[in-house]
Amino acid sequence: MSETPQLGQVGPAFPETQSLTENQPSPPVKQPKKKEAKPASLWRDAWYDLRRRPMFIFSLVLIAILLVMSFWPSLFTSINPFDAKTCELSTARQGPSAGHIFGRDNLGCDVYAKTIYGAKNSIIIGVATTVITALVGGLLGLLAGTRGGWTDVLTSRVTEVFFAIPSILGALLITATFRDAGIGIWIVVIALSVLAWPMTFRIMRAAVITARSQDFVLAAKALGAGQARIMFRHLLPNALAPVIVVATINLGGFIAAEAALSFLGVGVQSPDISWGLMIADARNRFLEAPLPLVFPALFLSITVLAFIMLGDAVRDALDPKLR
Amino acid sequence: MSKTSPHALPAEGGLGNEPLLAVDDLHVEFATRAGLVRAVNGVSYSLQAGETLAVLGESGSGKSVTAQAIMGILDMPPARIPKGEVRFNGTDLLRLSEEARTQVRGQRIAMIFQDALSALNPVFTVGWQISEMFRVHRGMGKRDAVKKAVELMDRVRIPGAKQRVNDYPHQFSGGMRQRIMIAMAIALDPEVLIADEPTTALDVTVQAQVMELLAELQRESNMGMILITHDLGVVADVADKIAVMYGGRIVENASVHDIYKAPAHPYTKGLLESIPRVDLKGQDLYAIKGLPPNLLDMPTGCAFHPRCPYRQDNCVTDSPPLYEISGTRNSACHYWREVLDGDQG
Amino acid sequence: MATKGETILEVRDLVKHFPLNQGIMFKKQIGAIKAVDGVSFDLASGETLGVVGESGCGKSTLAKVLMALERPTSGSVKINGRDIAKAKGAELKRMRRNIQMVMQDPYTSLNPRMTVGDIVGEPFDIHTEVAPKGDRTRKVQELLEVVGLNPDHINRYPHQFSGGQRQRIGIARGLALQPEIIVCDEPVSALDVSIQAQVINLLERLQNEFNLAYIFIAHDLSVVRHISDRVAVMYLGKVVELGKDVEIYDKPAHPYSQALLSAVPVPDPEGRDQRERIILQGDPPSPANPPSGCRFRTRCWKAQEICATEEPLLQIRPGTSHESACHFAETHDVVHVN
């Protein structure tokens, strides 16, 4: 008998309360009437719900601004930092002034313009690595968790091998080996992805294994559901939340990791610009001139925050209990 | 009300007519995000030494919360006790200091739970856990305490107690774990034992073993026992008197014989009638219609009125008091006479 | 659909052993949990067979094997003459339309991230031939109505319903493919007492309406008696007694059945001190290492030498009218469980 959660029934965090609140003859209809025509589904309801979340709108606006900044930087600044003439060594580490609101860096270049132009490389590396690790690690984790047996043993052993590689050393090795491949910053994306997917894999696999033991999976099997349906309709939606959280948190880590690689001389290299490179360049003189480090770091934090907010909003929208 | 100082411990034995344990107009509320939940709403019952009181109710009826308030194990906050008394040998436990309550809890009022596996610590041996009671509360040495633990395990009829004293909880079956929990509860010879769904997780043959054990222990020590359950069969087997709870209130209390012969509240009556009966095989079971009340949004008047076949207009507006039917019997129904007579309203 | 009374399910010598392995890479079998160990019975259309027994007796494993969620170690499960235990691929999928289940836990048996419409409509998504696409929403709403839920609630999620209502959703899903057999694995034991009767009534109404055959697994003996035409008593992977409900409840022949029935508390305090009660000692032995001969002998008050050496078969024995598996079977009216 469902008697144990007696105390829990009065706490809103427990599912029982929610069912109690629905016990009344005519509970409030949570979905709007106009949707009656089209049957609801998790993704449609989630989208409907997302559009009403201020946090989602806000993070989306932030991300949109960052993307515009990455691809059309000249909309934000008239100074082109790739043009050596805009830098004056004599004004190195000058504080903010009328034409240079963020001041100048070690080489006398405009920090504001460099921050704007640096967005592109940093955001591409952060977003692309996140997407690749989430897809590769997530799909393999889903597969390993669903199928179990040899698939699981094999993939799990492979991830353990990757876990054993010290990440910076591994990334250094990969980028250094393929630096002449002519694919630019994508070599950084590949290096970081290769080393980071096992993390997503493990989280997805664990979440899938938890979901797999629930009765609704058995019920679907009893109905004759195939493996693809069980994986994508039943297990994935119930295992996605922790992956989204970790992926969005990792996004900031990837941008920072790019900085470390740049610092070691294998990532984005001068004269190209990235936030990581800017931070690496500015930190030796941080005490005399903090601004050349503070501004790219600030933009990095805002980017990470925007994606974390986006991830949180999506995760909550995918949980019907939180709507 | 209480004249004793907050640090005084309740006296040994009952004082005059005062029952061993009396709950008087107890209210418990929980502050939740969704609003104030009145889980217990003016509950009163009493227990004499050697007596078994069954508290019958469904999930959400407040039966376990009442017990937790008696034990003083509610998390406060979110819980709050705005009103009421829990008198143990005449002393109001709710007014005692925390140290004084600790002296009562577990030693003089003990409790056993439904889920013995999670109530026992998985990383200590059962012998260690039982003997801890003696080391902490009686200041016994390790060797003596373990000897007492073996004695207790014998007393709750765990076969081969001496060999098993160093086993861990997971090495025992569900029934044996429940016995271990009972052993811990009775270790310090409590005057009151509260059993919260002690056999719900067990199979019937094991349930029979455990209930027999509890009855025997009660006979030996003259404990008062509060048995919290939803099982009408178990109640009929062991209880002396019954308090039926619904929506945080007691809706009927009576001796076990009275209530099974002729219930005086429509809810009790509905529960008894919904038990499958041989002579009605092939027919529909009687089913109480509707759903248990939502604690966040209780019906007006009588909480049972949306489901009640005896409902009249005043049930929707007036909350019925606990009418006295006889010296030992009450019903919180305006129409208890009709219910007793069996006239469907 | 089979006419009433025709045998639609034949279970023969069903065995399910779960191997106990040692070693990580090179597994070596060191034993087996004998969860189901030689179970045979028939089920006629429109009939209810109750299966009772305590935890570990193999009744839930039996349900999984019947549903082809587990492959049996040996034996057959024939539905209308075809063995579902050996069926594969498209044939298995087609056979599943005829046997569905209602699960115990109304909380974990529904996907929390699917709407009620998706949950009840999923059978049609999987078996697309059953209902044309445009027809599905209407079908789902019909099903919800049949089980007593508001058909307008198809866009809600499981957490917005109470336990009893969720169990109705699970039942609607089980009915969608119009099966002839439904395996109910403890369908009411997770529900509040006042809700149990509602769900039992619903199951009985559906049985009459759609001529369903039920395998009704439960530990609540009075509920099983109410709903069952025949009852099988299981102990440690074996059926120890099988008969009509009155035979099992009024004239149990196997000592275990007698002990089980006498242990059920009677909801009537009159004469409770005089009531005969057989209290079994100890716990059931482990199914990994069951006793030789009769599996109940270690707890049986009638046990003799023969019980350890010779396994009693499930058969009609002298003085009894139904099958029991005890060398010393004799009917004995223990107590009336209502």
Report pLDDT digits (tens) over A133-178.
999 999 999 999 998 888 888 888 888 888 888 777 888 888 888 7
The minimum CA-CA distance between A68 and chain B, rounded to whole Å, is 41
Taking residues C217-245, report their average pLDDT: 90
Determine, yes or no, domain membership for C28: no
Answer whether residue A15 shows pLDDT above 70.
no
Q: Which of B157, B161, B171, B76 is nearest to B120 (CA)?
A: B171
Interface of C with A in 97-116 (CB under 8 A): 97, 100-101, 103-105, 107-115
Of A22, A35, A222, the CB nearest to C155: A35
Say if residue C145 is in the same domain as residue C89.
no
Q: Which of C91, C88, C58 is nearest to C71 (CA)?
A: C88
How high is the pLDDT of residue B17?
65
CB contacts < 8 Å between B and C, how many? 119
Q: Buried b vs exposed e over A126-163: b needs ≥16 C-beta within 10 Å?
A: bbbbbebbbebbbbbbbbbbbeeeeebeebbeebeebe
User: Which residue reads 């115990």 in tokens?
Assistant: C104
A4 contacts B115? CB cut-off 8 A: yes
Whole-angstrom CA distances from B181 to B173, B178, B184 are 12, 5, 5
Whole-angstrom CA distances from C322 to C207, C213, C297 are 25, 21, 21
User: How far is Cα C170 from Cα C122, in angstroms, rounded to an integer?
Assistant: 12
Average pLDDT of chain C, as a whole number: 87
Q: Which residues of C touch B (CB under 8 A)?
A: 54-55, 162, 164-165, 192-198, 200-201, 204-205, 219, 221-223, 225-226, 245, 249, 259-260, 262-270, 272, 277, 279-280, 282-283, 336, 338
Whole-angstrom CA distances from C108 to A62, A224, A238, A319, C158 are 39, 19, 12, 15, 10
B242: β partners: B54, B254
A10 contacts B39? CB cut-off 8 A: yes
Say if residue C119 is in the same domain as residue C46.
no
User: How far is Cα B331 from Cα B265, in angstroms, rounded to an integer?
Assistant: 6
Say if residue C170 is in the same domain as residue C187.
no
Query: What is the four-CA torsion angle of B155, B161, B166, B168, rounded to 10 degrees?
Result: -70
CB contacts < 8 Å between A and C, how many? 121
Question: A61-84+98-322: which CATH number, 1.10.3720.10, 3.10.440.10, 1.10.150.300, 3.40.50.2000?
Answer: 1.10.3720.10
Answer whether residue B275 shows pLDDT above 50.
yes
User: How far is Cα A292 from Cα A209, in angstroms, rounded to an integer?
Assistant: 47
Decide which of C27 and C205 is more confident.
C205
Going by DSSP bridges, is the β-strand pair C213-217/C48-52 parallel, antiparallel, or unpaired?
A: parallel
Taking residues C293-305, report their average pLDDT: 88
B270 chain-C contacts, CB cut-off 8 A: 194
Single pTM value for the model = 0.81
Say if residue C77 is in the same domain as residue C115.
no
C117 chain-A contacts, CB cut-off 8 A: 39-40
Determine, yes or no, domain membership for C308: yes
Listed range (A85-89, A317-321, B127-131, B201-205) with the worst mean pLDDT: A85-89
* Preceding omega of B306 cis (within 30 degrees of 0): no
Q: Does A256 touch chain C (CB under 8 A)?
A: no
pLDDT in tens, C137-176: 888 999 998 898 888 888 889 988 888 899 999 999 999 9
B60 contacts A20? CB cut-off 8 A: yes
Of C192, C221, C245, the CB nearest to B292: C192
A21 chain-B contacts, CB cut-off 8 A: 34, 294, 296-297
Q: Sorting pLDDT into bands at 50, 70 and 90, what band is A5?
A: very low
Of C195, C219, C268, the CB nearest to B260: C268
User: How far is Cα C78 from Cα C95, in angstroms, rounded to an integer?
Assistant: 10
Say if residue C91 is in the same domain as residue C151.
no
User: How far is Cα B248 from Cα B62, in angstroms, rounded to an integer?
Assistant: 5
Q: Are B222 and B186 in contact (CB under 8 A)?
A: no
Give the list of residues 6+ apart from residue A34 with CB closer than 8 angstroms, or none.
none
Taking residues C286-303, report their average pLDDT: 88
Q: Which of C191, C61, C174, C266 is nearest to B211 (CA)?
A: C266
Mapped onto helix, strand or coil, the DSSP state of residue C53 is coil
Of C97, C123, C159, the CB nearest to A321: C159
Q: Which of C50, C40, C48, C47 is nearest to C76 (CA)?
A: C40
Other CB atoms within a 10 A radius of the CB of residue A99 amount to: 9
How high is the pLDDT of residue A217?
93
Of C165, C193, C204, the CB nearest to B230: C193
User: How far is Cα C197 from Cα A175, in angstroms, rounded to an integer?
Assistant: 69
C193 contacts B204? CB cut-off 8 A: no
Query: What would the two tokens of residue C221 be?
Result: 């003996």
Answer whether residue C2 shows pLDDT above 60.
no
Determine, yes or no, domain membership for C241: yes
Whole-angstrom CA distances from C158 to A13, C93, C153 are 16, 26, 10
Q: Does B230 touch chain A (CB under 8 A)?
A: yes
Q: Sorting pLDDT into bands at 50, 70 and 90, what band is C116?
A: very high
Residue C154 sits at φ, ψ, to 5 deg, of -65, -20
Taking residues C298-304, report their average pLDDT: 87
Mapped onto helix, strand or coil, the DSSP state of residue A226 is coil
How high is the pLDDT of residue C3?
58
The minimum CA-CA distance between C316 and chain A, rounded to whole Å, is 35
Say if residue C186 is in the same domain as residue C170.
no
B284 chain-C contacts, CB cut-off 8 A: 201, 204-205
pLDDT in tens, B225-239: 999 988 888 888 888
Q: Sorting pLDDT into bands at 50, 70 and 90, what band is A208?
A: very high
Q: Are B207 and B221 in contact (CB under 8 A)?
A: no
Segment holding B82, helix H or strand E: strand B79-88
Interface test with B, best of C59, C168, C193, C251 (most B CBs within 10 A): C193
Interface of B with A in 54-93 (CB under 8 A): 59-60, 63-65, 68, 74-75, 78
Which other chains touch chain C, taking contact as 3+ CB pairs less than 8 Å apart? Answer: A, B
Segment holding C328, helix H or strand E: none
Determine, yes or no, domain membership for C206: no
Answer whether residue C48 shows pLDDT above 90.
yes
Furthest C-alpha separation in chain C: 68
Domain count, chain C: 2
Determine, yes or no, domain membership for C202: no
User: How far is Cα B291 from Cα A21, in angstroms, rounded to an integer?
Assistant: 11
pLDDT in tens, C26-45: 667 778 888 899 999 999 99
Q: Sorting pLDDT into bands at 50, 70 and 90, what band is B343?
A: low
Listed range (A236-240, A266-270, B303-307, C281-285) with the worst mean pLDDT: A266-270
C114 chain-A contacts, CB cut-off 8 A: 41-42, 233-234, 237
Say if residue C157 is in the same domain as residue C284.
no
Q: Are A318 and A241 in contact (CB under 8 A)?
A: yes
In terms of C-beta density within 10 A (0-12 exposed, 13-18 middle, 19 or more buried), how is residue C209 classed? exposed
Q: Does C126 touch chain A (CB under 8 A)?
A: yes
B203 contacts C194? CB cut-off 8 A: no
C55 chain-B contacts, CB cut-off 8 A: 174, 203
The minimum CA-CA distance between C280 and chain B, rounded to whole Å, is 7
pLDDT in tens, B12-31: 544 456 788 889 899 998 88
Q: Which of A145, A120, A117 is nearest to A208 (CA)?
A: A145
B114 contacts A3? CB cut-off 8 A: yes
Answer whether residue A16 shows pLDDT above 60.
no
In terms of C-beta density within 10 A (0-12 exposed, 13-18 middle, 19 or more buried), how is residue A30 classed? middle
The minimum CA-CA distance between A2 and chain C, rounded to whole Å, is 6
How high is the pLDDT of residue B123?
86
User: How far is Cα A119 from Cα A307, in angstroms, rounded to an integer?
Assistant: 14
Whole-angstrom CA distances from C205 to B283, C190, C212, C221, C228 are 10, 21, 10, 20, 14
Query: What would the two tokens of residue B119 be?
Result: 């109530």
Say if residue C173 is in the same domain as residue C251.
no
Q: Which residue segment(s) compose the domain that C187 sits in?
A: 1-19+33-98+181-192+213-265+277-338
Taking residues B62-74, report their average pLDDT: 87
Say if residue C132 is in the same domain as residue C242.
no
How high is the pLDDT of residue B1?
40
Determine, yes or no, domain membership for C270: no
